Structure 1
Amino acid sequence: MPEKIRVLILSTSAGTGHIRAAEALEKVFLEDSRVGQVECVDALKFTNKIFRDFYSKLYIQLVDTAPSFLGWWYRTTDEPWKTDKMRLMLDRLNTQPLIDFISAYRPQVTVCTHFLPAEIISYLISQKKIDCRLSIVVTDFHCHAMWLCRVFHRYFVANEESRIHLVNLGIPAERIVFSGIPIDPLFKPSKNKKEMKKNMGFDPDVPVILVSAGALGVSPAEIILESLESLKISLQIVVVCGKNVQMEEKIRKQIPKLSNHAIRVYGFSTEIHKLMDAADILIGKPGGLTASEAMAMGLPMIIIAPIPGQEEFNSDFLLEKGVAIKCNEFTTLAYKVNYLLTHPQILQQMRKNAFKHSKPDAAYKIVQILLDDELNPPMPVCLNPEQKERT
């Protein structure tokens, strides 16, 4: 009887999309009888506090206080192989406990949903310090240069454009899989939206607007509610504040001042898939995971305040595919919501587009390929970026 496969999934808590993608993969790996053990780990837990704050808290602070700087940084560093040596030196200075953990665990399959652990493992393989197969799962619709590793076995990307981008950078085409972004298998729509609305305690004949602040609660939700107050048609509005307790408290205090619509407020919710199923429109930021979940549910989006950098690229993708519209000014948000609700044929087409471009089984596809690889393990790809050649 063959030995059960040990799987290591590594991510970081810089934002929550990377973690959610890792958890989706973990759930699917555990369903397969070939797998004996799965460890799903936040790589930042193995680093010191200064380094953790740099990768997680600083990011959120920049989103909140200096988004323009974040956008500048994103674009400046998005040049293939420009900063990999500097980043690797910095990461190795702070991640020795992570190296020790990987060496002790001895994974056969290693999957990274964030570039930090990916580049560490890539280096360790190149130095023959560990023996495992490294696969990199890109969790946005644009493959930023930070995701590039010199040594790896497979890349899984969100769309065909990212696949072509990597091919033209010299990544062997046969090692790149257009899989989509892995999401929890729970994100499957019911057959009857009105029935789901009833099950969730909504009036089935009144539109449901889902306002997503993201799991970290970085969102202008208060302004959104004020904007929607001017709508004369009845709405049922659900605001999900994530882990931002202060925002949740502010919204709850704001509700008595608003009278035109029924409003519900959630903190961090494990039922977001049910809320998406009941909703007619999602208003929020275009994070890679949120957008992928919404598309899997056939839920049209109104994009607001995308974070400069990766969310702007995500926004471009969603607009191009016809699954979202963008609101550049909050003064026009009510108008855009009203337009979609009074033009059901447009809303229905957006719903069809969302289903068409969704990849709800991405996690299953990734897991199947990686476990099948164990029957005939591929050799690692070793790139020489200076020569810009394939090896």
Structure 2
Amino acid sequence: MNRTSARAPDTAAGERVLILSAGVGSGHNSAAAAVQQPSAARADVAEVQVLDVLQVSSVLYRALLGKGYFVLVENSPWLVELGYDISDPPFRRRGPIDPWTRVNALPVIAAIKRFRPTAIVCTHFLPAQLVALLLLRGVIDARTAVVTTDYDFQGLWLTGAFHALFLAREEGKVELMAFGVPPDRVAATGIPIATQLNLAPARDANEPPKLLISAGATGGTYAVSVVRQTLHMRSSFTATVVCGRNNALRQRIEQLVTPAGDRYRVLGFTAEMPQLLRRADLFVGKPGGLSASECMAAGLPMVLVNPIPGQEVRNGDYLIEQGAAVRCNTAATIGWKIDEVLREPGRLQRMQAAARRTGRPGAAADVLSRLLDGPSRPLVVTRAAQKTILDESERRVVATDLTGPSSLVRLIDSAEGSTVALLRAEELGDLQKRYGAPNGGLVLRRSQALVSLRWEEQRLLRAMLRGDDTLPVRVEGLPSPLRFLPR
């Protein structure tokens, strides 16, 4: 990999924000576009750019990652679930990027160097892993954020170097703190969604309930079963069916609902989803992270159908737990399930209130503010610390319960008060010999020839020192996660 430095310009000229996504489905790119909105609105941001890393990769790589995933979802969902579970433990893979991914990453690295960002936001784990590698090698000097796009945390998102990690909900933060990730580097902001300035009028309680049936951006054929079952419902309702980019699906559903007159409105892909969400009373569709977040922000409860094994099933579990959704596990009962919600007095209203409580419409602005106003140095998690975190997750051990050489300790920037490194206790020995200070802390120095250090120590110093010659730090144990629970 080319090690030419791409040091960021002085932020006095304005922040240069680069948002990296990957077009595996529409959610990651939607989250990237959502973060772009507050970036463009801030006076301290000189330029913002969004890059889908798959669009600058080879055609084969793009096809296998983008289209191949949905082929598996359609034909072998059990394999998707297996892959999700296997990759769920954090730091399951700690080695270098594989050669094929490295080759396809070269155009992304070139784009990063050309843009010279002062801040990078990653809304997919692929660019997040790449950016971590560039931080550790000294190729970039920008604040970096990892923004997850599902309600449940998945281990692939946790990287060896980052400035901030933004999660959808508080439980994910508690989970990461239990592994040892410092609380000052993790925040539960919600999933970024676009802000809509010209929304439609709110739903009218005097009209029959409005259903919004979504087949997703690509137009899943499960929508046919959903619509067919609603034809047998007893409740009074109207429905808008969104078929995405699947024109054949749209035509099929139009023929299906012809006998129902004007009760159904059938659309293809539409840019008016925010307005449709605001007008509707009940959403029927898949619990993708972005779709669910948009529904919650609009106060729109959900009837969940056909979730993708893994992340969407877990999204659904969370929404049901909050009282903002119900799940239908078989197409034969969809109409009955919706009827049950509509016919029980007060139930729909309670679900709408739960959705409003769950929604985080300001997540995108929150992510950007926390990143730009947060610590200037990254958090580095050493390979040994990553191994401990992986072992903890598999043994279901809380990091603060560990003792001995494999326990985790933090290095705290004495000036900023932020955690700059997470390492094993046994790794402190060499650092204390080289950089020990009279007060028991450390003063890390660039004057120590990097070539004389072990490879892991080189990575640690390069990322933490940035442009400075010295960095005083103090050594602390891990705080209890319970101290940081909201009251």
Letter in 2 for 1:267: G
What is the distance in 1 between the residues matched to 2:346 and 2:282?
14
Letter in 2 for 1:245: N
What is the distance in 2 between the residues matched to 1:277 and 1:295?
10
Quickly say closer, same or farther: Cα 1:216–1:187, change in 2 above 3 A: farther
Deviation at 1:168, TM superposition (A): 1.9
What is the distance in 2 between the residues matched to 1:219 and 1:63?
13
Q: What is the aligned-residue RMSD (CA, Å)?
A: 2.0
What is the distance in 2 between the residues matched to 1:88 and 1:118?
15
Letter in 2 for 1:91: T
- Give the alignment of 1:200-349 within 5 angstroms: 205-256=207-258, 258-259=259-260, 262-349=263-350
- Match status 1:24 vs 2:23: no
What is the distance in 2 between the residues matched to 1:133 and 1:102?
13
What is the distance in 2 between the residues matched to 1:218 and 1:192?
28
What is the distance in 1 between the residues matched to 2:173 and 2:279?
33
What is the distance in 2 between the residues matched to 1:75 and 1:86?
21
Deviation at 1:88, TM superposition (A): 5.1
Secondary structure in 2 aligned to 1:333?
helix
Instruction: Give the TM-score taking structure 2 as reference length.
Output: 0.75
**Partners of 1:235 and 1:261 within 8 A in 2:** no
Quickly say closer, same or farther: Cα 1:322–1:233, change in 2 above 3 A: closer
- Give the alignment of 1:113-124 within 5 angstroms: 113-124=123-134
- Match status 1:180 vs 2:190: yes
- Match status 1:381 vs 2:377: no
Partner residue in 2 for 1:161: 171
Letter in 2 for 1:94: N
Secondary structure in 1 aligned to 2:260?
coil
What is the distance in 2 between the residues matched to 1:8 and 1:347?
41
**Partners of 1:276 and 1:299 within 8 A in 2:** yes
- Match status 1:52 vs 2:62: yes
**Partners of 1:8 and 1:109 within 8 A in 2:** yes
- Give the alignment of 1:38-77 within 5 angstroms: 38-77=48-87
What is the distance in 1 between the residues matched to 2:317 and 2:325?
10
What is the distance in 2 between the residues matched to 1:122 and 1:89?
17
CA deviation string 1:248-289 (max 9, x = no partner): 232223332x42761111111111111111111100000010
Quickly say closer, same or farther: Cα 1:360–1:383, change in 2 above 3 A: farther
Identity among equivalent pairs (%): 34
- Match status 1:96 vs 2:112: no
What is the distance in 2 between the residues matched to 1:263 and 1:255?
7
Instruction: Give the TM-score taking structure 1 as reference length.
Output: 0.92
Higher deviation after alignment, 164-173 or 308-317:
164-173
- Match status 1:105 vs 2:115: yes
Partner residue in 2 for 1:198: none
Letter in 2 for 1:63: V
Secondary structure in 2 aligned to 1:291?
helix
Secondary structure in 2 aligned to 1:259?
helix
Deviation at 1:76, TM superposition (A): 1.6
Deviation at 1:371, TM superposition (A): 2.4
CA deviation string 1:130-152 (max 9, x = no partner): 22121100000111111110011
- In structure 2, the gaps of 5 or more residues are 1-10, 390-407, 409-421, 424-487
- Match status 1:193 vs 2:203: yes
How many residues align structurally?
380
